[in-house]
Amino acid sequence: MTLRLALGLTTALVYSVCQAQTPTLKLLTFESPPYQMAGPGADGSSLVVGETANTVACAANRGGWATRIRIAPQNRAIHSLERKMIDGYFAIDPSSELDTIAKRSDPVALEKWYFFSRDNRPFSRDLRIGVVSGSNEEAWLEANDYRIFLSVSSPAQLIALLKRDRIDTALMDERVMDRLRQTNDFIDPQLNTHFVRYAPLYLYLSETFTSDHPEFLGTFNRALTKCMAGQLALSDEEERRITKLSERLFRELNSILDIHQIIEAGPRQESFTDVMTIDSQWQALSPFQTPDLAEEILALPGSRALHAWQQSHPGLITEVMVVNDMGTLAAISQLTSDYWQGDEPKFQEVMGGAGSSAPAEQSLFISPIRYDTSAARFQVTVSTAVPSANGEKAEGVIVIGLGIEDALSEYERQ
């Protein structure tokens, strides 16, 4: 009787342990250093490592899943996904083919694509274009009716072709080029660049997996922001370009609008307690319902003028707001997610902190890149203080949202 009981308890314990094991997400990707690449595991086995692979694993882990990631050619990965042999495939451009058979996550990576050339001639579609065969870049070129002169098997081969003048320009990701610069001594440091696009890349999950685990995708998407932290940073050159563009936009806005009058005409609360109460109500309603105070602010002449100015820069400007020295909204071009901005870097970095008596620094603050799920695009915000007439504490802050891809393309056209 005691032995039977012991066996029963052992069986139950083994079953419980098996049940408690972390489920594993089976994924395929392709070789693309530094984003995903094969590397040695602790036990001598092969692992897939790199920024994007780590991001995917991080977001899955936060949802209670382990990952098993393998490298495979794109055609094989798509074939495996179609036949439900794997749970998912990353990191790829949006695909109309895959959209019919799988569910797409929010972006798991953001690449920056440039045409790299050795001479100063203006970029045109007539140039001899080189690209890596089977890459996201090749698919994009074909989808956008570019004529590809040569397709090769690796980015390093593209550099060799540029050196021998076999191609005029090569399309590749900026980080891939940076890695090649670090590992090859023959790359011309004076390569000229032509910005093409920010390329968001995605995880596609099989319909069978998402049907069996309907909660996974939402949890995964919510975890991506933290798991991608530090990866969505502007390069020094991009920050310089955004600064120049932003300075021009702020000059333009100040030349056509009286920002001081807009701040004076906006609502102002008597106490910080009132601000917090309104902000809580505002966040609870937005974006599904417009709070009463938001309706009042949107109806102000200053808000209507900001909206008209935003509309005059379609795609480039995603939002405009004028914030008073309390950190609350005085005017907005469209509904925002919250009323109080005083706890955010876009306010604090140019005002010296909410409620500070320090003079405004009159400098620009550029936020990190963030993904706006509702707009399905990457954006940055730029802000600057509104100086007071007597030169003391700033009266408030102007904030402009910029579509990052449009912003860099706009700078190229200047």
How does residue 120 score in pLDDT terms, banded at 50, 70 and 90?
confident
Among the ranges given (43-52, 128-137, 393-402), the one the predictor scored with the smallest mean pLDDT:
43-52
Given a contact cutoff of 8 angstroms between Cβ atoms, the answer to whether 249 and 264 are in contact is: no
Neighbouring residues of 320: CB distance < 8 A, sequence distance ≥ 6: 253, 306, 307, 309, 310, 332, 333, 398, 399, 400, 401
Main-chain dihedrals φ then ψ at residue 141, nearest 5 degrees: -60, -45
How does residue 187 score in pLDDT terms, banded at 50, 70 and 90?
low
Averaged confidence pLDDT in the chain: 86
* pLDDT at residue 97, as a whole number: 84
The two structure tokens encoding residue 4: 């039977």
DSSP state of 368: P
Q: What is the pLDDT of residues 356-366, one digit of tens each?
A: 444 444 489 99
How does residue 339 score in pLDDT terms, banded at 50, 70 and 90?
very high
* pLDDT at residue 353, as a whole number: 45
- Dump the DSSP string for 167-217: -SEEEEEHHHHHHHHHH-S-S-TT-EEEEEEEEEEEEEEEHHHHHH-TTHH
Q: What is the mean pLDDT of residues 162-181?
A: 91
Given a contact cutoff of 8 angstroms between Cβ atoms, the answer to whether 400 and 306 are in contact is: no
- The C-alpha atoms of residue 313 and residue 145 are separated, in whole angstroms, by 27
Q: Which comes out higher in pLDDT, residue 219 or 97?
A: 219
pLDDT above 70 for 186: no
Q: Which comes out higher in pLDDT, residue 392 or 191?
A: 191
How does residue 412 score in pLDDT terms, banded at 50, 70 and 90?
low
Q: Percent helix, strand and coil across the chain, each rounded to 5?
A: 40, 25, 35
* pLDDT at residue 377, as a whole number: 79
- Phi-psi label, residue 174: left if phi above 0, alpha if psi -120 to 50, beta otherwise: alpha
How does residue 12 score in pLDDT terms, banded at 50, 70 and 90?
very low
Q: What is the pLDDT of residues 63-81, one digit of tens each?
A: 999 999 999 988 888 899 9
